[in-house]
Amino acid sequence: MDRRAFMGVLTGGILAAPLAAEAQQKAMPVIGVLNTGSPSASSEPSMGAFRQGLSEAGYVEGQNLAIEYRWAEGHYDRLPALAADLVGRKVDLIMANSPPSALAAKSATSTIPIVFRSGADPVRDGLVASLARPGGNLTGVSFIADELTAKRLELLSELVPRAGVIALLMNPNNATAERVIQDVQQAARAKGVQLHVLKASNESEIDTAFASLVQLHAGALVVGADPFLSSRREQLVALASRRAVPSIYAWREFAASGGLISYGPSLTSAFRLVGHFAGKVLKGAKPADLPVQQATKFELVINLKTAKALGLTIPPSLLGRADEVIQ
């Protein structure tokens, strides 16, 4: 090969390299994560489980997959703009971590696939046409976290039978809040206890709600299964400890962080399953053809150390039903 031909091949190779790299970069799918919470220690177990599910489906962030995270930091009114931003970036799939996120994503696009994690009824919330045949561009994992709030009041009443007044902490910005409040009020009447509803949609309102517990003579507290409240796990557990108020939560992570008791679906199992769903969609499956899967693993977790600090004796009947007892 003469020098001129060699230089032509070399130049062509140099010019082609960036084009090949660009083509390879574009070939890597991009997932947009639309999260109602904040990037913090409380959100990492869920996101880690989601990435684990993706990995088991053959997709590893940074290797053959890119993930763009958007955090509403508890401000649900920011979700539409964040969803629109992901749509504008032409991501290949949107993972919505809650019903508010999923609704915002659904309003932003009817073409980009959306995989959601819902703690409510996705049919009643208008996310899918039915569980078996979702239709449209959404599918995901559903579990009855909201519907279990009344059951949590019953468990707490069993644990603290002398509590004649119980408080319920809810985020008023959650679309399911009023429905949950009605369910818990009915359960409170059945148990013969007085219920006070407290509302908080930011950190300062959480502080105010706990400060009011003394004036209300509340002997126990039920914390709603809301994405924002869940993102404030450390704050809620610390305040419950400081105020010495027995509290029940939706997720195991609260009890593991020092909360008294939790009852609800496994968050990590649900998000891992969402990762599996996302992997199927990236491989070509259509959300409309993927039935919404309902979580079947529920956990009753009791923290004995916290119970001791509160001077509580856990009834044997409750201990016997516990899936996990934290010493």
Task: Give me the tens of pLDDT residue by residue for the chain, a chain 327 residues long.
Answer: 554 444 444 444 444 444 444 444 457 999 999 998 888 766 788 899 999 999 999 999 999 999 999 999 889 999 999 999 999 999 999 999 988 999 999 999 999 999 999 877 889 888 999 999 999 999 999 987 777 899 999 999 999 999 999 999 999 988 889 989 999 999 999 999 999 999 999 999 999 999 999 899 999 999 999 888 988 999 999 999 999 999 999 999 999 999 999 999 888 889 999 999 999 999 999 999 999 998 777 899 999 999 999 999 999 999 999 999 998
Count, in order, helices (H) and strands (E) of the chain: 13, 13
- Euclidean distance between CA atoms 182 and 170, whole angstroms: 12
pLDDT in the model for residue 245 = 97
pLDDT in the model for residue 96 = 96
Segment 77-136, tens digit of pLDDT: 999 999 999 999 999 999 999 889 999 999 999 999 999 998 778 898 889 999 999 999
- Euclidean distance between CA atoms 291 and 311, whole angstroms: 47
Class of domain 8-144+267-296: alpha beta
Task: Identify the bridge partners of residue 31 per DSSP, sorted by sequence position.
Answer: 67, 93
Q: How far is CA 87 from the centre of its chain?
A: 21
Q: Which of 117, 114, 115 is nearest to 143 (CA)?
A: 117
Task: Determine how many CB atoms are found less than 10 A away from the CB of residue 294.
Answer: 14
Dihedral sign for Cα atoms in the order 152, 155, 159, 161: positive
Amino acid at site 32: G
- CATH 3.40.50.2300, the chain: domain bounds: 8-144+267-296, 146-265+299-326
- Euclidean distance between CA atoms 48 and 81, whole angstroms: 25
Contact 66, 24 (CB under 8 A): no
CA-derived radius of gyration, the chain = 23
pLDDT in the model for residue 19 = 42
- Specify the pTM: 0.82
Task: Determine how many CB atoms are found less than 10 A away from the CB of residue 24.
Answer: 9
pLDDT in the model for residue 24 = 44
Contacts of 270 (CB under 8 A, 6+ apart): 49, 117, 141, 143, 295
Structure token pair of residue 179? 């429905």
- Euclidean distance between CA atoms 148 and 250, whole angstroms: 8
- Euclidean distance between CA atoms 81 and 78, whole angstroms: 6
- Euclidean distance between CA atoms 158 and 84, whole angstroms: 46
- The CATH code of the domain at 146-265+299-326 is 3.40.50.2300
- Annotate 282-301 with DSSP letters as a single string: HTT--GGGSPPEEP--EEEE
* Packing angle of the helix pair 267-282, 44-56 (nearest 10 deg): 40
Q: Residue for token digits 């969609």?
A: 281
- Euclidean distance between CA atoms 327 and 324, whole angstroms: 10
Q: Which of 313, 278, 232, 271 is nearest to 117 (CA)?
A: 271
pLDDT in the model for residue 20 = 44
Beta-sheet strands, E only, within the chain: 30-35, 66-71, 93-96, 114-118, 138-142, 165-170, 194-199, 220-223, 247-249, 261-265, 293-294, 298-303, 324-326
pLDDT in the model for residue 220 = 98
